[in-house]
Structure 1
C-alpha cells in the first residue's frame, strides 16, 4: 500500500481499513523511573510530589507486568524531568519487512529535546533504525500526537496545537504506512493522546469536542464503534491516555465513566493511580513506550 496522508472523508474514497496490511502488536514497553520527574516543569505552582509519583509509577509498572507485558527500563537523567514520560518523544513500529524503527520527536521547547537524544541512544542499542525529523523548523511530538490503529499498518496523527501537519509525511515514509490526520481545536486537549485512544480494530474512545467536524467525520468513517468520553472527566482524569494490553485497558482509577464504556464493549479495565502525572498532562500511555 502506498503511504499517504488522509485529512478528510472525501479523500477516503477507495480506502478501507480491511485492506491495510496487518501489523504485529507491541511485545514489551519501555519505562523510565521518575527519579527526577516534576510536574512543576510544566505547571509552576503545582504541588508536585516525587515520592508520590514513584509509588504511582510502580503501580503502573506492576499492572502492565501482571497483564503479561514485559517492561524494559530507561535510566533517568538529571535535568530531564519529563524523561519519565517515555512515550511522548518517540514513535516506534515495524516496516513491512519487519525492520524495527524509532521515529524521534522534535519538541517546540528546547528544554525537552534532550529527551530525544537519550531515547535515540537507547533505541539504537536495542536494534532500532533511528529516524529524525529532517526539517528542524517543524514540531513533531511523536507518541504524544500519534497512535497506531490496532493490528493494522495505519497511523493516526494530530495537529492544531503541537505537531505541525507537514511533519506526518516523514511518519508515513518511516513506517511505510498511511496516516489519518486529525485537527485538534479544544485547548483542554492539545495532544492526541489526551482525547483519542484506539481500543480495538473496531473501537475507539474519543473526546468529541476536541476535534473539528472534518476530523470527527474521519473517525466515524473508519471506526464502527466510537465511544464518547465525558469532556470534564477526560480533561481531569485522562482516560484516553490509557494503555491497552491484551484486551485490558490500564487507565486512571478516577475515570469511572470511561471505564464503564470500555467494559461495555467487552474489554477489561485495570484502574491505577496516575494523579501525580496528570498534573503534567500525562497518564498510563505516556509512561510506557511500546516496543516491537
Structure 2
C-alpha cells in the first residue's frame, strides 16, 4: 500500500466512477481498477459496491477515506514544510465568531512581531465546520468553545467567555424580579443556526432544565439578530463580547436568568496527530498570555 494507492482511492471515492477518476488522474481505467483491487486485497475488505453503474463506498471504504485524506494532507504538508524557506512560517487558524471579531487580531499582531515574514490565514466560521476542517487537516489550529467527547482532538483552555440574553430596554421581562428558564422559552427566541457554539451551549443548558428550544428566528448573522432584538421582534442569545457595546449604549439590556450559568471556556483545539511546529506552539502561548 502506497501514497499512490491512497490518492487513487480518494479520487475514485470523490468521483464515484472509475472512468471519471481515471480521466482526472490521467490514467487508464484498468490501472485505476487494479489499484483499488490491490488495496482491497491488502486489507482484505471490499471498498466499493457497484449499483446502477455508480460506485458506493462500503463502511470499510468510508473509514479508509477518512484516514486516507488525513494521511495525504499530512504528506503534502510535510512536502510543503520541507521545501519552504527556513525563515518563513505559515499558519492557518480557524476562529469562531467571538474570537474572530474580538480576539484574533491581537494574537496575530503578536505572532507577526515574532515572525515578521510569516503567512497567517484566518478562517472565521461556526465551530462545527472548523472542527471538520481540523480533521481534514485544512486548519492547523482552531480557537473555539470547549468541545467535549472529541477523542481525536486536543483542547487547550485559553479564555473565559460567556453568553448573554438581550432584549430591547422596554421588554416586559425586564420588569420581573426573578426571570426563569420557563420565562425564556415562552419568548420569541432569536438564535444562531444549529452548529454554532452559542446555540449549542444555550440548548444544552435549557435541555438540562427540561425545556425544549423552538427558535422564532435563526440566523448566521449576529448583526441580524441584534437588530431584530432592538426592533422588538424577540430576545437574542449571543456572546457577550459581540453585544457589549449595545448594552453599554443602552440600545439593548441583558436579561439575567435565575439558576443558569452561561459561562463557557474558549479553547485552542488541534488534531491529536498534528505535529505542532515551533510557530504553532508560539501562537498557542500567545493565546494563553494575551
- Please confirm whether the aligned pair reaches a TM-score higher than 0.5, indicating the same fold: no
Answer 1 or 2: higher relative contact order, Cα 8 Å, separation at least 6: 1
In proportion to residue count, which structure has more helix? 2
Q: Could you state the TM-score of these two structures normalised by the residue count of structure 2?
A: 0.23
Q: Could you state the TM-score of these two structures normalised by the residue count of structure 1?
A: 0.23
